[in-house]
């Protein structure tokens, strides 16, 4: 599939909208709890990708996965951490808290690259990391007295898993061992389902819940991940990062309209610092890349 730039932008906006449906869908569930929610979504994601991948990349995809080396499997572990932490956090705290925490992912990626992979960071990146950290700390501090801090701590696992994942992918590409992200997502979903199944047992989800979670596995994760990879072939990394921020906006609005979750003042205040720092950093980075 080959897209023009405008088509890739429009498709990426649709992808972020699909990603953003996780919060409002989980609020429609009747019986399923945190680990069972995670199990069903991951299981349906793995099943969907197991059907999509051979149709998209041919039957040889299974052979290529086996011979891809350790990077793909470590990337799959990172995806598993992201999937598991994200869904459990949604069961413990508000959608807005989780999405704002998730939005710090690009800055955490830069920080991990400095601490663990020795890459130097520009002063503007350090400044953005500090401001975003203050925003998240403000949200955590305001939640300590409300008992919602645990969900926000768990939510940090998602951007941290993503930070290690993107650094691993970049390092592998520099060494000549590119990681195919979609098979890695399949591995991550399978690992997440396998890990959470014993914790979710005995399964108590109603048919109503399973239907909603099947929709999440297919349309909130499997299909958008494939489309995002297609978009990334056309868009610059900074464009993808900026468009991905729409997930925060869409997710908060959907949870507000569809589940009556009104974000607290602390979320608006901390979120403004996180998103402001990230947008400013992305704008400065893009300006530097396009300057003569």
What is the token pair recorded at 5? 């730039």
Kindly report, residue by residue over 82-135, the tens digit of the pLDDT: 899 989 988 888 888 888 888 777 777 777 877 776 777 777 777 877 787 787
Q: Which domain holds residue 51?
A: 5-290
If you average pLDDT over residues 147-162, what whole number do you get? 79
What pLDDT is recorded for position 290? 65
Task: Answer yes or no: are the C-beta atoms of 152 and 96 closer than 8 Å.
Answer: no
Look at 266 and 291; give whichever has higher pLDDT.
266
Percent of the chain with pLDDT strictly greater than 90: 22
What pLDDT is recorded for position 67? 79
Cis amide linkage into residue 95, ω under 30° from 0: no
**What's the mean per-residue pLDDT of the chain?**
82
Confidence label for 189 from pLDDT (cuts 50, 70 and 90): very high
Give the Cβ contact number of residue 41 at 10 Å.
32
What is the token pair recorded at 16? 């972020």
Kindly report, residue by residue over 219-241, the tens digit of the pLDDT: 998 999 888 878 877 777 656 76
Element (H, E) at 289: helix 265-290
- Residue 209 pLDDT > 90: yes
What pLDDT is recorded for position 216? 92
Angle CA 73–76–80, to nearest 5: 145
If you average pLDDT over residues 179-185, what whole number do you get? 80
User: 25, 56, 62: which is closest to 41 by C-alpha?
Assistant: 25
- Residue 39 pLDDT > 90: yes
Percent of the chain with pLDDT strictly greater than 70: 90
Q: How many domains does the chain have?
A: 1
Q: Which of 17-21, 77-81, 120-124, 187-191 has the lowest mean pLDDT?
A: 120-124
Using CA atoms, how far residue 126 sits from 107, 159, 163, 276, in Å, is 9, 17, 16, 14
Confidence label for 181 from pLDDT (cuts 50, 70 and 90): confident
Q: Where does residue 220 rank: exposed (0-12), middle (13-18), buried (19+ CB within 10 A)?
A: buried
Look at 225 and 172; give whichever has higher pLDDT.
225
What pLDDT is recorded for position 194? 95
- Residue 155 pLDDT > 90: no
Using CA atoms, how far residue 20 sits from 60, 87, 212, 220, 282, in Å, is 32, 12, 14, 8, 21
What pLDDT is recorded for position 143? 60
Task: Answer yes or no: are the C-beta atoms of 84 and 157 closer than 8 Å.
Answer: yes
Look at 215 and 152; give whichever has higher pLDDT.
215
What does the alpha-carbon distance between residue 205 and residue 219 come to, in Å, rounded to a whole number? 19
Instruction: Give me the DSSP letters along 182-236.
Output: HHHHHHHHHHHHHHHHHHHPSP---HHHHHHHHHIIIIIIIHHHHHHHHHHTTS-
If you average pLDDT over residues 39-65, what whole number do you get? 89
What pLDDT is recorded for position 112? 80
Task: Answer yes or no: are the C-beta atoms of 56 and 170 closer than 8 Å.
Answer: no
What does the alpha-carbon distance between residue 32 and residue 292 come to, in Å, rounded to a whole number? 55
What pLDDT is recorded for position 244? 77
What distance lies between CA 248 and its chain's CA centroid? 11
């Amino acid at each position: 599939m080959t897209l023009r730039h405008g088509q890739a932008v429009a498709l990426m906006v649709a992808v972020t909208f699909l990603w953003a449906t996780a919060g409002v869908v989980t609020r429609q569930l009747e019986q399923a709890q945190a680990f069972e929610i995670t199990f069903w979504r991951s299981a349906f994601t793995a099943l969907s990708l197991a059907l999509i991948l051979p149709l998209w990349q041919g039957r040889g995809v299974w052979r290529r996965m086996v011979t891809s080396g350790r990077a793909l499997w470590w990337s799959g572990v990172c995806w598993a951490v992201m999937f598991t932490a994200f869904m459990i956090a949604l069961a413990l705290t508000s959608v807005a808290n989780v999405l704002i925490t998730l939005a710090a992912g690009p800055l955490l990626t830069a920080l991990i690259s400095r601490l663990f992979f020795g890459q130097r960071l520009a002063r503007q990146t350090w400044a953005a990391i500090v401001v975003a950290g203050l925003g998240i700390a403000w949200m955590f501090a305001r939640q300590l007295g409300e008992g919602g801090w645990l969900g926000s701590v768990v939510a940090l696992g998602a951007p941290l898993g993503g930070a290690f994942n993107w650094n691993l992918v970049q390092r592998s590409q520099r060494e000549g061992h590119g990681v195919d992200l979609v098979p890695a997502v399949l591995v991550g979903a399978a690992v997440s389902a396998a890990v959470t199944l014993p914790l979710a047992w005995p399964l108590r989800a109603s048919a109503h819940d399973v239907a909603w979670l099947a929709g999440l596995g297919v349309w909130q994760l499997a299909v958008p991940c494939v489309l995002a990879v297609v978009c990334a072939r056309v868009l610059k990394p900074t464009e993808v990062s900026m468009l991905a921020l729409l997930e925060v906006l869409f997710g908060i609005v959907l949870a507000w309209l569809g589940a009556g979750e009104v974000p607290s003042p602390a979320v608006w205040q901390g979120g403004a610092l996180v998103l402001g720092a990230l947008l400013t950093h992305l704008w400065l980075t893009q300006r530097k890349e396009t300057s003569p």
